[in-house]
Homo-oligomer: A and B are copies of this chain.
Amino acid sequence: MKKRLNKELVIRLIKYRRILNQLKSLGFERVFSNNLGDAIGVAPALVRKDFSLLFLGGNKRGGYNIDYLSEKLDAILGKAQNQKIIIMGMGKIGTALAQYKGFVQGGFEVAAGFDIDVSLPREVSIPVLPPEKMQDFVRENNIRVAVLTVPEDSAALCVKMLKEAGIQGILNFTPVEIKSTPTCFVHNINIAVEIENLFFQVIKNGAPPEDWETELPDEEGIWEEEEAENS
């Protein structure tokens, strides 16, 4: 039987590791599934199942050993230490991300930013280069992941350039939906859509999180009755 390591699971693993490191630095040695579940917002059973799936064992009464888990997660996820990324588009958001402390804490280093206008004052410590230099930079520094924060109009072209340069992962903040390819994994974050989604959830009443029900225009709907129980 083949288990599939789906994207959500990977994200959970990354979050587990985050929490484990925090706990470790606080001097804890053991942790229970419900602690981890609370911390990352999932059910304890799911935590156990995740670990079970990965053959990460705990102690039948003493919970999980933090060092052990942390080590194993590093082995599974890879230690993302001193990984270099670039930022394509040094506008407001790109510049802000260039100084984002979470990158340093996460073991990432922003190696350079690229922008058409190199002369703008940005007060960043990384080099800001023109886009033409991106491809060489990527190859010379063996960059594999890029953050895309250019204006919507330039998005498609930049993606093309990034892919040609050999970039294998893109975090896209552009409103343009970019598709992953076998050689380039893309994650789209569409801030305006997120906000719009929030407003939808909010407007349509008090906003239950996962379980959400909406009434459609009655004229259209011949909805069958279905009373829902709220968890």
Contacts and interface: CB of A to CB of B under 8 A. Distances in A.
Interface string A189-231: 1111111111111111111111111111100111111101111
Nearest to A57: B220
Contacts of A182: 205-209, 228
A185 B202 contact: yes
Interface in A130-172: 142, 144-145, 147, 151-152, 168-171
Interface stretch (A25-33, A59-67, A98-106): A98-106
Given A97-B191, A102-B192, A175-B18, A5 B223 contact: yes
Q: What is the size category of the interface that chain A forms with chain B?
A: 35 or more
A4 B212 contact: yes
A4 B202 contact: no
Contacts of A96: 91-93, 95-96
Given A185-B205, A191-B102, A2 B224 contact: yes
A2 B180 contact: no
A100 B174 CA distance: 11
Interface string A68-90: 00000001111110010100000
A181 interface: yes
A11 B197 contact: yes
Contacts of A179: 41, 230
A155 to B, nearest CB: 12
A189 to B, nearest CB: 6
A193 B18 contact: yes
A89 to B, nearest CB: 12
A54 interface: yes
Contacts of A202: 144-145, 168-169, 185
A35 interface: no
The 7 closest A-B pairs by CB, nearest first: A1-B223, A180-B228, A180-B209, A169-B198, A92-B96, A106-B192, A185-B207
